Structure 1
Amino acid sequence: MTDQDRFLIAYASRHYADADWTTKADRWTASFYTEADTTVFGTAEITRVALGAVPNPRQTLDADPGVLDRIPRVVFTEDGRLVPLVAELNPSLLLLLESVEVTEEWRGKGVGMSLAVTALRRLAIPGTVAICYPAPIHPQHGPGEVCSYESDDPEVRRADEEAVVKLRRAWERHGFELIADGVYGLRVGPA
C-alpha cells in the first residue's frame, strides 16, 4: 500500500451566478488519488455555507439538497438561522460533508475519512465548523426516502445500524461531536 503522505487531493467547485445563493448550493468535490497513480480512488462532496452571505441556507438546501438530507434540518431553523447548539460554536463558515466514497480496495482502512477531514481542514477559514451525518450511502435513495436503516424490518436494518455505530465512532475519533439526531460537528478552523 501507499504511505498516507503520498495521497493527494484535487478540488473542484461549482459556483453559480445567482449572487444571493438562493437556488443552488456552493458545492466542492475533493478527489483522492496517489502520487504514483493519478486514478481517482475516492471523493468527498462538501457543501459550503458562508454565514451572513446566504439569506436562508435551509431553504436553498431544500431546493438543491444534493445528498444532504438530515443535516440542513438539524443545523438550521425554518427561517435559516443556526440552531442554538451550532450557534454556540460561533461559526463564520459551515462545511457540510455530504458524502465520502472510496473504491472497494480502499474501504475499511480509514483512508477516505482521513482524507475527507484533511479536505475539510484545507477548505476552512478561521471559525469554520464542519458538519457530517455518519451513515452508509445509499445512492438509490433520495432525500426523504426511507433507507434500509429506517426500515420497519429489523433484519433489513441490522447491517446499516451496525455500520452507523462504526461510522459514528470513527468520526468521533477524528474529534467530531454529536450535535443532534445523528448529526456531528467539529471546529476545523482556528477560532
Structure 2
Amino acid sequence: MAVIDKALGLVFGDGRNVLRDTVEVFRQNAENTAARDAAALEQAMVQFAAEFNVAPVGRFDRIMNGVNRLPRPALALGTLGLFVAAMVNPVWFASRMQGVALVPEPLWWLLGAVVSFYFGARHQVKTQEFQRSIARTIAQTPAVMRHIEHLNVLQTDEGQLEAENTIPVVSTVAPGETDNAALDDWRKAAA
C-alpha cells in the first residue's frame, strides 16, 4: 500500500495535482478561462447598463433636445420660404438678397464649416446604418436563393407530378394505441 501511495504522491503531489499543473503550463484551464470570460462579459454589461441608465429628464433637457432637432427643418423650410417669397414679392426678395451679398466671405466659410460638420456627422451616421442594413441583407442572400430554388422546383412540371404522386402516410394504429407494444402493455396494466 505504501508503494502505491508513494507512486500516486509522486504523480499527483502532496495535496496538489502535479499532472494538472504541468498541463496548465501548455494549455489554459478551460474552466478558469470561462470564469474570466464570464466576469469580463458581466463587467461589460454593467458598463452598458450604466451608459443607458437614463436619469429623469428635466425641462432643460427636453428644451435642448428640441433645439438640437431644429436646424434641419429650419433650413429646409427656410429655403422653401425663400422660393415662395421670391414668387410673391420679388422686390422684397431682391432687397434681402442684396443684403446677403454684403456678407463677408470668411463668414460664408464659417457658415459652410458649421453646416458641413452638422450635416456631415449626421450623414456619416446614416451612411453607416445603411451599410449595416446592406450587410444584413447580403448575409440573407444564400437562404433566399435556396428558397427560390425550392419554389422553382415546386413550380416545374416534375415538381407538380411529384406533389401529385405523393401519398400521405396514414397511421394504422387505433386511437389511444401506439406502435410501441411495451408502452401499450404498460398503459393497460396501469389502467
TM-score between the two structures when normalised by the length of structure 2: 0.17
Q: Which has the larger radius of gyration?
A: 2
TM-score between the two structures when normalised by the length of structure 1: 0.17
The structure where strand makes up a greater share of residues is 1
Q: Select the structure with the greater relative contact order (CA < 8 A; seq sep ≥ 6).
A: 1
The structure where helix makes up a greater share of residues is 2
